[in-house]
Chain A
Amino acid sequence: MENSQIVLKMENISKSFPGVKALDEVSISIKPGRVHALMGENGAGKSTLMKCAFGLYHPDQGTISMYGETVHFTCARDAMDHGISMIHQELHPVKTRNVMENIWIGRIPHRKAMGMKWVNERKMYEDTRALFQELGIDINPRTMVGELSVSHCQLLEIARAVSYNAKVIIMDEPTSSLTETEAELLFHIIRKLTAQGVAIIYISHKIEEILKISDEVIIMRDGRLIGSWPASELTMETIVNRMVGREMTQRFPEKKHQPGKEHLVVQNFTSANPSSFQNITFTLRKGEILGIGGLVGAQRTELMESIFGLRPIAAGTININGKEVRIKSSKDAIRHGLALLTEERRATGIIPMLSVMENMVLSKQSADTRHYTSGRLFLRDKIRRADAQRYVKSFSIKTPGIKTLIRNLSGGNQQKVLLGRWMLLEPDILILDEPTRGIDVGAKYEIYCLMEEMAQAGKSVIMISSEMPELMGMSDRVMVMCEGHLSGILEGEDITDRKIMYLASTYEIA
């Protein structure tokens, strides 16, 4: 490969953090006008590598060059000045400012006078309008970012990355909260950019998406480069195999559980918030996995949180095992055997600065303190340790020990700790909200297996998921919601991606 054809070259990059070698002599070459997918399980080192390329981390060893010239990035600004921009995975915008300021912050259009830079408000507005028009994004530049939906925030990040007129754009999971249409819009933007000679580095866990959009696939595992292949030579299976380094014959465990009689009946559930869900009726059978499909904004999370007593309802009843129950708070819900694994693992799940054990026993400790004191005055560490150890073992949670801080675990393992937290309460009905979001393929499979085990043990599972294969692969039935309405329940042969998509985008009022 000639050097002139390479925009960005990273050679023998190594980077260590205390206790972990995050990158081990990784070399990649990025060519103009092509989409390079960067793949690997969580913890494979993709984000670390990209943060090195963007000047946020400084590699311990190795060189970065652009157009054959060695460069040293000391901060994000350096990288941007060299023509690299990045869509950050976990970056939230400045919510308290409007859209256009978020796009141009750090380089706001201005006039110089009296030694100060004065904001040119009109130019900022016009530039933003022009940028959005070119990209086909429909957002008012003066809207407060705090009022935007998650997917619009992501579109905003995309527009911002594009606005730098960069030669290389790094996209770290750009579609994680986009709807299908919006993802299509992103692909359209990517094609436009590559036609202009921009190089794209695309990090994603969604293999279908990768095969669709990328020219080249770079695969990493455990901080090392496994290799780089043209996308046309790869299939879903080969990618998965190379990522996990083991043969994965199937992505979902075999269905062995048998749904039984009616377990949970939800009738005429209507939110107290008029723009949320309306008149939802469904049943969940014992030992069943019920998938909940829908687009962003379908109010699935709101519905489940209301069933769990976290949000107020205007009308509706809940029956468990044929008896009507009143759930006014999460405490009531737990008492009736419900468990809810929330969508935002970091925001509403883990307590980062506490250990795996403290995180695991958290709920049980307050629900059943006596279990942990066993008649004495204080909590007994022995019992807490035993409980934590049990689930670390049975869920095969990868952690140096139960005293390790949970924030040092990978996303998948954090999720398993949270599952363990709920399982300690011995619930009958588990509501899992996007249980595998942001989790790598291997850990996903393990979570699926745990769900299957629970169903076999007679527990009933509700799974909200935005991933079509997961809905189709795991669910006995799929209930689809659209804009707060129940648009249909699919069963057996009827569960196809086309039917789910159709129901997710339309509903009929009965």
Chain B
Amino acid sequence: MNIKSLDIKNFNIKKFLMNYALYIIMLLMIIIIACISPKFLSLRVLRDILTQSSTRILVALGCMFIIVSGSADLSGGRVVGLTAVVAGSLAQQATYYNKFWPNLPELPVIVPILAAMLVGLGIGAINGYTVAKLKVPAFLATLGTQMIAFGVNCLYFNKAPNNSQPLGGFLKSFSEVGTGSMFGIPYLIIIAVGAAVIVWIFQTKTCLGKEIFAVGGNAEAARVSGINVFKTLMITFMIAGSLYGLAGCLEATRTGSASSSYGLAYELDAIASCIVGGCSASGGVGSVPGVVMGVLIFNVINYGLTFIGLSSYWQYVVKGLIIIVAIAVDVRKYSSNH
């Protein structure tokens, strides 16, 4: 009897450590950084980290949909680049000397935002069709579309009279989205949190959300249960695409500029955040809080290492280690349930 109760206790500690490994790592990191440089624990730092994370969170949320549905998506980064340029090109002041569309009137701020999301949605639709209908493995299909997106972006960006000059001179209303705040909370954070909440509700409270899990967990079982797998995957990729589009647009507002090199390797960071945040690479598992935590961890590292004066190259080493540790813990988590 004694042995048994001890057993349960041990098991729980182990389980606790495994379930909350992510949070523990994050906490330890913050403690270490704060010990070296106590100023790290300030509202300003928190706000900076969250603002920097905001666009990353959107890309990661899109990516999470794809991973949960059992697919993969490498197009995220380049879609961010393309949509940043598209949004930027539609949001310039009439008086700016190097205007992308010289004759374009000043548009309401919603137009560039929607345009970016529509472009993202379109690329998502192409991804979805290629993967779900043409049965091209997602990894390769999206490798293709990310190249296409980059190519199209460069062609567009190089159009006369712009000739690959970084875009600038944004409308005040447009840059306000990226720099302004409400009650001291930047709009970017509000948008990212809002998107995360909506995605979370969609995923856990709607039939479609549950169906995406089912398709990712076992596509064949979903099919014979009467789920239209093609439709589900199409929607999944389109949602992801529009989230990338929104992220691209916000990236332009945040930096006050846009060029075709934007978004480079964002998709890899997003995939890493998802996996670290508990998504199963084989599909069917993933949650919004986990993914958001995943993104935050990486951004705390980015910011924190620079904050304590370490070379920013160290962040790659630390990031890489965290990915490996997270997955090693994850593998054990599932096998211990067995």
Interface residues, chain A, with chain B CB atoms under 8 Å away: 54, 56, 75-77, 80, 86, 88, 91-97, 101-102, 105-108, 110, 116-119, 146-147, 274
Contacts and interface: CB of A to CB of B under 8 A. Distances in A.
Contacts of B337: 146-147
Given A76-B225, A105-B211, A94 B206 contact: no
B18 to A, nearest CB: 15
B184 interface: no
Given A105-B222, A106-B214, 4 more contacts: A88-B224, A91-B220, A105-B214, A106-B226
A105 B205 contact: no
19 contacts: A56-B224, A76-B224, A76-B226, A80-B226, A88-B224, A91-B224, A94-B221, A95-B217, A95-B284, A96-B216, A97-B217, A97-B284, A101-B210, A105-B211, A106-B225, A106-B227, A108-B210, A118-B207, A119-B209
B208 interface: yes
A61 B70 CA distance: 35
Contacts of A105: 210-211, 214, 221-222, 225, 227
B226 A97 contact: no
Contacts of A107: 226
Interface in B209-261: 209-211, 213-214, 216-218, 220-228
Interface of B: 7, 202, 204-211, 213-214, 216-218, 220-228, 280, 284-285, 337
A110 B211 CA distance: 13
A80 B211 CA distance: 18
Contacts of B222: 94, 105-106
Per CB-CB distance, the 8 closest pairs between chain A and chain B, nearest first, are A94-B217, A96-B284, A106-B225, A77-B226, A106-B226, A117-B207, A96-B217, A94-B218
B332 to A, nearest CB: 15
B226 A94 contact: no
A119 B207 contact: yes
Contacts of A106: 211, 214, 222, 225-227
Given A94-B284, A96-B280, A274-B7, A116 B227 contact: no
Nearest to B219: A94
Contacts of B228: 77
A102 to B, nearest CB: 8
A56 B225 CA distance: 11
A249 B204 CA distance: 59
Contacts of A56: 224
B224 A96 contact: no
A66 B205 CA distance: 37
Nearest to A86: B224
B19 to A, nearest CB: 14
B206 A117 contact: yes
Nearest to A80: B226
B224 A94 contact: no
B132 to A, nearest CB: 14
B206 A119 contact: yes
Contacts of A94: 213-214, 217-218, 221-222, 284
Contacts of B285: 96
Contacts of B205: 118-119
A97 B227 CA distance: 15
A77 B222 CA distance: 11
Nearest to A51: B224
A107 to B, nearest CB: 7
Given A95-B217, A97-B214, A101-B214, A116 B224 contact: no
A118 B228 CA distance: 18
Contacts of A119: 204-207, 209-210
B207 to A, nearest CB: 4
A361 B202 CA distance: 51
A105 B229 CA distance: 12
A108 B220 CA distance: 18
Contacts of A97: 210, 213-214, 217, 284
A92 B218 contact: yes
A108 B284 contact: no
Contacts of B226: 75-77, 80, 106-107
Contact of B221 (A77, A80, A91, A116): A91
Contacts of A101: 210, 213-214
Contacts of B202: 116
A97 B214 CA distance: 7
B206 A116 contact: yes
Contacts of A93: 218, 221
A310 B228 CA distance: 41
Nearest to B223: A76
A197 B225 CA distance: 23
B9 to A, nearest CB: 14
B25 to A, nearest CB: 24
Contact of A116 (B208, B217, B223, B280): B208
A101 B206 CA distance: 12
A107 B210 CA distance: 11
Among B204, B208, B210, B220, max chain A CB count under 10 A is at: B210
A118 B204 CA distance: 9
Contacts of B209: 119
